[in-house]
Amino acid sequence: MNHQILDLFRRRFACHSFQRERTIAQADLDVVLEAGRLSPSSFGLEHWKFLVVSKATDKAALQAACFDQPQVGEAAVVVVILAKTADLHPDTAYLKTHLAREYPGEALAPALANYRGFFANTDIRAWSVSQCHIAAANMMTAATAVGLDSCAIGGFLADRVKAILGIDGDRYEIALILPLGYCADTAPEKQRLPMAELVEYH
């Protein structure tokens, strides 16, 4: 059987130091972004937006906003993944257009009613961020497939990141920050719990 996808998961690791001088080919970056775009999302709402940051000054400012984690400033590019919030209100054109695509014809009315109940009982910002993490995981795997390294940055000062990049906090939340490039260190041995400790069959 072909287990190429598992080989990618085994090869991927969190890069903590990038080669500053190496740039990324646009074609490789496009593969990573396309993997994010094609990711699954609840209700088919495509909760994400991707900001690609490549200016050294912006990366340095982001590094400071990420508790000075050096990989943010060293990476060739940093993808800031935004989670949509305002667009997810039941009465927005964005929401209705996407629901109509997922639930065409007579299926739309009950789907919208179901969504209204979900919206009223859910922390929408947290839900949207969690959906963006699906895209981020796919993007990191895609990065490995094209020979790039990555590191998921979940520690940051959201308000500072928004100020640096001019992000409208009423429309978006910061979901994750994803530095991409070529690692300066050797990949460590993969450390994971054994399957027997993680899986139960019922």
Q: What is the tens place of the pLDDT at every residue in 56-82? A: 999 999 999 999 999 999 999 999 999
103 belongs to a structural domain: no
Q: Which of 182, 180, 168 is nearest to 53 (CA)?
A: 180
79 belongs to a structural domain: yes
55 belongs to a structural domain: yes
pTM across the whole model: 0.95
Q: Under a CB-based contact definition with an 8 Å cutoff, are residues 68 and 171 in contact?
A: no
110 belongs to a structural domain: no
Domain of residue 128 covers 22-89+124-183
| Cβ-based neighbour number of residue 128 at 10 Å | 24
Tell me the C-alpha distance between 138 and 171, whole Å.
Answer: 24
7 belongs to a structural domain: no
195 belongs to a structural domain: no
CATH of the domain at 69: 3.40.109.10
Q: Which of 142, 138, 124 is nearest to 176 (CA)?
A: 138
148 belongs to a structural domain: yes
Report pLDDT for 2: 66
pLDDT per residue rounded down to tens, the chain (202 residues) = 468 899 999 999 999 999 999 999 999 999 999 999 999 999 999 999 999 999 999 999 999 999 999 999 999 999 999 999 999 999 999 999 999 999 999 999 999 999 999 999 999 999 999 999 999 999 999 999 999 999 999 999 999 999 999 999 999 999 999 999 999 988 888 899 999 999 999 9
What are the distances in angstroms from CA 84 to CA 32, 46, 125, 193?
20, 9, 8, 34
94 belongs to a structural domain: no
Q: Under a CB-based contact definition with an 8 Å cutoff, are residues 175 and 128 in contact?
A: yes
Query: How many domains are there within the chain?
Result: 1
Report pLDDT for 16: 94
Report pLDDT for 149: 97
Q: What is the tens place of the pLDDT at every residue in 22-34? A: 999 999 999 999 9
